[in-house]
Amino acid sequence: MSSTVAPFPEGFLWGGATAANQIEGAYAEGGKGLSIQDVMPKGLMTPRTEGPTDDNLKQVAIDFYHRYAEDIALFAEMGFKTFRFSIAWSRIFPLGDEAEPNEEGLAFYDRVLDELEKHGIEPLVTISHYETPLHLAERYDGWVNRDLIGFYERYVRTLFSRYGHRVTYWLTFNEINSVLHAPFMSGGINTPKDQLSQSDLYQAVHHELVASALATKIARELAPSAQIGCMVLAMPTYPLTPDPDDVMAALTTDRSNLAFGDIHVRGEYPGYYLRHLREAGVELTITDEDRALLKEHTVDFVSFSYYVSICETTDPTKRVTGEGNIFPGVKNPTLQASEWGWQIDPVGLRYVLNTFWDRWQKPLFIVENGLGAKDQLVEVDGQKTVVDDYRIAYLNDHLVQVGEAIADGVDVMGFTPWGCIDLVSASTAQLSKRYGFIYVDRDDDGTGTLERYRKKSFGWYRDVIASRGATL
Ligand code: BGP
């Protein structure tokens, strides 16, 4: 493998990404309340359970809650400059609507930040990553209810007051556009999807957008050096054919995702989005104060996850439903797919970086990308490892395209591949869909020692970081 990409910029934030509910475990320790993830034992496609059940792998996950020091040391060994993790809202406010935070929860993240500081790793914190406190879902119907803005505000004030002096990079909501597709997981909306009106759904999105702007406002007050980013699921949409109707259909689908960046960067709803709402019969309550918040508190940077591209066509027989948390679309006949049907498109990443940069002229941060695969633990030279050449190839190809985008003049802040250590998958709720450079010995039935092992990709990524991409 060799490439012609120039060295990545000095200060490029190389690292890895995770989320609390997928790594921490300790679901009922340290005063933590239940989150919606504690009633999602089988993942995204299966209805929630009444209460927590023992078959939920997230109850222990990979036990990061107790092993964070060991894990962060491994990240440091790879040369990470940054580590993306989320704060579990229900560790800080167990119910979500109480007046005072839970000190034990706050102290846990102090310890995580201490450890990162020790290794010179910059924290990248997601404030809300698919883990709304369950009480807010059950009592208020999640983000459908305007009260959630106030609860989120209290949570955010607590975080900025406590950690604002030591955390620069913050993301307000993970994949904020996904609430339209996964209302319970992404928005804590307890009403079943088939009974949820479009007006309630878009109202929930609106509340999250206002809360996101409010977080930026509070950061300016309490943590002036903080950099606030929105986080969207990026999924470029190509026309399936050159038929102009397909080209227009692709633009329309693309805009259903781009709207979220537009609102965060430009501070107002774009005309095409308002038209879509009108035609869908959606009536939103938007106050003057909401409008002012959106307009005055736009983001410093745009972050996104990138896994797949899709196609669009006006021919309805071509539509397929994606597996997992990837939105439905039309398959691209030119691309291969992962074992879960996620189509692999490295050039799409360069395309996204260029279109986002042309559109917003804001620094861009790739905070998720990677290949979920079934790994085989083997012994090489007396060491347990995984020979994950497929993962190396995937990430190598994507990083080459990031290098191309940088050469195109795009301002790219960093790259944090998803699940840098194996974790519980969001869509399947299993461990066998692995993304990591580090293998965690735990299986889908919950058995395993929880020991960590360096995969082949561990050394590959360490070399990429050390050489600033020269080994790609
Ligand atoms: C993103 C989520 C992550 C992560 C990733 C991979 O949408 O932000 O939480 O889970 O997808 O998805 P999965 O775990 O389903 O493979």
* pLDDT one-digit tens code per residue, 423-456: 999 999 999 999 999 999 999 999 999 999 999 9
Distance CA 50, CA 4 (A): 54
CB 193 within 8 A of CB 128: no
- Residue found under tokens 């809650």: 65
* pLDDT one-digit tens code per residue, 38-57: 999 999 888 899 999 999 99
Distance CA 288, CA 332 (A): 43
Interface TM-score (ipTM) > 0.95:
yes
- The catalytic residue among 368, 379, 404, 451 is 368
When the pLDDT of each residue in the chain is averaged and rounded to a whole number, the result is 96
**Res 1: pLDDT:** 42
Tell me if the pTM is above 0.95.
yes
Q: Is the pLDDT of residue 369 over 60?
A: yes
Q: Where are the domains of the chain?
A: 13-466
Distance CA 423, CA 76 (A): 18
CB 114 within 8 A of CB 72: no
* pLDDT one-digit tens code per residue, 383-404: 999 999 999 999 999 999 999 9
Can you identify the CATH homologous superfamily of domain 13-466? Glycosidases (3.20.20.80)
Looking at residue 290, its amino acid is: D
Residue nearest to atom 15 of ligand 1 (CA): 427
* 77 labelled catalytic: no
Output the CA–CA distances (angstroms, integers) from residue 465 to 7, 81, 319, 454, 471, in the order listed: 10, 9, 40, 16, 9
CB 302 within 8 A of CB 362: yes
Enter the tokens of residue 444. 């889908």
Of all atoms in ligand 1, which is nearest to the CA of residue 233?
A: 7
Percent of the chain with pLDDT over 90: 93
Cβ < 6 A, ligand 1 pocket = 19, 174-175, 233, 305, 324-325, 368, 372, 418, 425-427, 433
Of all atoms in ligand 1, which is nearest to the CA of residue 340?
A: 16
Of all atoms in ligand 1, which is nearest to the CA of residue 425?
A: 14
Strand ranges inside 90-209, DSSP E: 122-126, 169-171
